[in-house]
Amino acid sequence: MLTVSYPGVSGVDTEEVSVNEGDSVTLNTSVQTNHQEDIKWYFNNTLIAHINGSLSKVCTDVQCDEVNERFRDRLKLDPQTGSLTITNITDTDFGDYELKIFSSSSDSEKIFSVSVNGVSAAERDEVKTVKEGESVTLDSAITKKQNDVMTWYFNEIVISEITGDQSKICTDVQCEERFRDRLKLDNQTGSLTIMNTRNTDSGEYKLKIILNNNSFSITRVKRFNVTVTGVSGVDTEEVSLNEGDSVTLNTSVQTNHQEDIKWYFNNTLIAHINGSLSKICTDVQCDEGNERFRDRLKLDPQTGSLTITNITDTDFGDYELKIFSSSSSSEKIFSVSVNGVSAAERDEVKTVKEGETVTLDSAITKKQNDAMTWYFNEILITEITGDQSKICTDVQCDERFRDRLKLDHQTGSLTITNTRTTDSGEYKLKIIINNSSFSITRVKRFKVTVDSDLSSGAVAGIVVVVLLVFAAAAAVGVTCYRRRSHTAVPQNYLPLYCSIFLCGADLADVDRICLHLLVINYNYINSCRKKPSNKSCKEAQQGFCSMGSFSPAPCFPLM
């Protein structure tokens, strides 16, 4: 974890403040305004907040400076004290915050030197899964100080609080009924333990920490997504997902238009298909007050199976399936947990030199029923289904990657051998993890760049040829060599056996970068490539490089 800080200005009182990404911080003026002071805040010498004595001008950020939108509604000024609050700290907010107070009797100045610590998503938002009846501890990861205040919330309802040496647990009736005698607080750390867990304990637990100092205060929030599995008497399936996945929860039935199928998420109806198919709804269609999934739910009209696309970290919890028919009814719970995934894990970047080998790692072990498909710039290139695999089944793929792709049947990882610059692009791996009760679709992307290993002479040659191509529009004639007699001919007698070589590059470089501006004689050039010291080849190269003008033709590689 990297912490960056700046020293204060010599002769000015400086306070060092260390915050985490996502924190909010209040920088105190330590004064009560009597409406005579003029208070200004500067960030790295730019005015960001101002309150004057008569209160006729109170501004923050863009209000003070129309060009400056750095903090975008993240600054707040206390009209009573002039203290400055910065919310949702980012890694670009580090630096010096300078406070200047002007009054009729005196002026004062102070600097808050703020450093920002990077925090991963996993540190801010933890996922906990526990079996019903077991205990789970939600760790604050800090040691509480005397003046700190710590508050725990369950689904935005206060359940416990520590202020100084005093602690309170479940002060309202609703909390008491839910957690009676099952919550325990550690007064040294503020960590919360839930004992004898129940299915109804599943949900989001939020810890709000206020770290108080004489000159500033920091507000920090940490979240825990808790799932309690194993409901007595009801079939429960555990489903572990990654952020960004799509999942299909199967009903394992074929509807005969007699069933009434309902899906609930944490006891809220989110999807419904009835026997006559006259009512099919998902999310907000079922409940006008509920827009949690925002067009991310799909119902299969043949089976009633539910698909949730683009899973987020708020989608964890219990998905309850209820099927009603004239003869019977059934119930099943899918207990879903969601793992945070960093952008680097979802989208990898690979750089390799031309001719080298690169492996794109799936990062999983393939199971028998899984299906894995690789795409290059959205074109299918390989596929594994069960024990069967296919590589380049179409002509375009076969021409591009002929005999250069290898698949690992245990992991699905893809290796590209003898790479070329034309292999640069986006490779996408689509994984379908099949289970009898559910299926997960996971996508991983690789941005691959193959760097050309051209010599400086070849690069110089490319530049020369490009300039000559633009100049060729005014060309009057062309110098060309016949297949047998190497004599210049007029443009209107241009034969089909001509070639332009790069000036300043040896024949090996010419061969590698494939810049031929006129139709070539394959056999002739091939013989020159094998014997570049051949006198006629040298004469041809010298002749073409001394041309004053020529007419260009399409470039294509020498095979």
Coil vs helix vs strand at 490: coil
347 and 447 housed in the same domain: yes
CB 520 within 8 A of CB 499: yes
How does pLDDT run across 398-434, given as a tens digit for each residue?
888 988 999 988 888 999 999 999 999 999 999 999 9
371 and 321 housed in the same domain: no
Give the domain-ending residue among 203, 229, 255: 229
Q: Is the pLDDT of residue 25 over 90?
A: yes
How does pLDDT run across 204-220, given as a tens digit for each residue?
899 999 999 889 999 99
94 and 178 housed in the same domain: no
How does pLDDT run across 264-291, given as a tens digit for each residue?
888 788 888 887 665 667 776 776 656 7
95 within domain boundaries? yes
| Count of CB atoms situated within 10 Å of the CB of 552 | 17
- List Cβ neighbours of 504 (8 Å cut-off, separation of 6 or more): 457, 460, 461, 464, 545
Q: What is the per-residue pLDDT for 532?
A: 52
How does pLDDT run across 497-556, given as a tens digit for each residue?
333 444 444 444 444 444 333 333 444 444 444 455 555 444 444 444 443 333 343 333
Query: Which ranges in 44-169 belong to alpha helices (H)?
Result: 121-124
126 and 222 housed in the same domain: yes
484 within domain boundaries? no
Q: Is the pLDDT of residue 376 over 90?
A: yes
520 within domain boundaries? no
Coil vs helix vs strand at 49: strand
What CA–CA distance (Å, rounded) separates 40 from 56?
14
Q: Is the pLDDT of residue 481 over 70?
A: no
Q: What is the per-residue pLDDT for 543?
A: 44
User: Exposed (0-12), middle (13-18) or buried (19+): which is 72, by Cβ within 10 Å?
Assistant: exposed
355 within domain boundaries? yes
What is the CATH classification number for the domain harbouring 256? 2.60.40.10
Name the average pLDDT for the chain. 77
How does pLDDT run across 311-356, given as a tens digit for each residue?
998 899 999 998 887 666 788 899 999 998 887 788 899 999 999 9
What CA–CA distance (Å, rounded) separates 472 from 478?
10
Q: What is the per-residue pLDDT for 491?
A: 41
End-to-end CA distance of the chain: 52
Q: What is the per-residue pLDDT for 545?
A: 40
Q: What is the per-residue pLDDT for 195?
A: 93
Give how many domains the chain has, as a whole number: 4
Higher pLDDT, 261 or 58: 261
Q: What is the per-residue pLDDT for 276?
A: 66
User: Exposed (0-12), middle (13-18) or buried (19+): which is 39, by Cβ within 10 Å?
Assistant: buried
Q: Is the pLDDT of residue 183 over 90?
A: yes
How does pLDDT run across 88-138, given as a tens digit for each residue?
999 889 999 999 998 877 888 999 999 999 887 777 888 888 888 889 999
Coil vs helix vs strand at 116: strand
Higher pLDDT, 512 or 260: 260
331 and 380 housed in the same domain: no
Token pair in block for residue 39: 């208070």
Token pair in block for residue 284: 């907000």
Token pair in block for residue 428: 């996408």
Domain range spanning residue 170?
121-229
3 within domain boundaries? no
Coil vs helix vs strand at 345: helix
